[in-house]
Structure 1
Amino acid sequence: MDNDIAAAPIEQNSEAFVDLPSLGETASPEPLEDIAVYEGDGGALGLDAVHEVPVKMQAVLGRARMTVSELMSIAPGRVVELDRKVGEPVDIFVSNRLIARGEVVLIDKALGVTLTEIVHEDD
């Protein structure tokens, strides 16, 4: 049987490929022209380049555990008991990492959260 696929020439578009270093090689030190970098007084890179990166932020009122059959029977008007008490702080997550706690507030008929505590990684 002929193997036409193996014999067919592969067309390459030079714009679609980027030269990457092989294992053990060092990349060439070409500057990244599309990224604006701010160097502060100490010479450290600033955060200006990432200010516009979108992140997912969540305010978690509480959690509940239930079986699949309980989940399937949920209907409008059903009350789901959460693991928090009224007045307890809500957890604020950014990209699935706990960063703060706060209180639920009402602002012009919309819910919001006032941050009351910043959570550090060592907490």
Structure 2
Amino acid sequence: MLEEVPVQMSVVLGSSQLPIRQVLKMGRGALIQLDCGYDDPTEIYVNDKLIARGKIQVSGDRMSIEVTDVIRRGR
């Protein structure tokens, strides 16, 4: 029954704040510096709620995320 319930999942590597004029000037290949380092945890959201943190893993041309911390919610 639950297998058919749609959810939206987002994986957030980091964030950045840019003026709109800078965003409008960007072209293909533009680089955006994020506010995180290589070893910082990546956040995993489901339906806009933080549910876990993890580390990005790269193997060849494939990327995955290793879940390192599940966020527990009080009832």
Q: TM-score range by the shorter chain?
A: 0.7 to 0.9
Secondary structure at the residue paired with 1:51? helix
Q: What fraction of aligned residue pairs are identical, expressed as a percent?
A: 27
Q: Is 2:42 aligned against 1:85? A: no
Mind listing any 5+ residue stretches in structure 1 that lack a counterpart? Answer: 1-48
Identify the match of residue 22 of structure 2 among 55, 58, 70.
70
1:14-25 to 2 correspondence within 5 Å? Answer: none
Offset of residue 119 of structure 1: 1.0
Instruction: Quickly say closer, same or farther: Cα 1:77–1:87, change in 2 above 3 A.
Output: same
Q: Which residue of 1 aligns with 2:2?
A: 50
**Over aligned residues, Cα RMSD in angstroms?**
1.5
Identify the match of residue 106 of structure 1 among 46, 58, 66.
58
Mind listing any 5+ residue stretches in structure 2 that lack a counterpart? Answer: none
Give structure 1 regions of 4+ aligned residues with deviation exceeding 3 angstroms.
Answer: none
Identify the match of residue 49 of structure 2 among 70, 85, 97.
97
Offset of residue 108 of structure 1: 5.6
Q: Which amino acid aligns with 1:117?
A: D
Whole-angstrom CA distance in 2 between matches of 1:106 and 1:53 = 30
Higher relative contact order, chain-length normalized (CA < 8 Å, sep 6+): 2
Q: Which has the larger radius of gyration?
A: 1
Provide the TM-score with structure 1 as the length reference: 0.55
Provide the TM-score with structure 2 as the length reference: 0.86
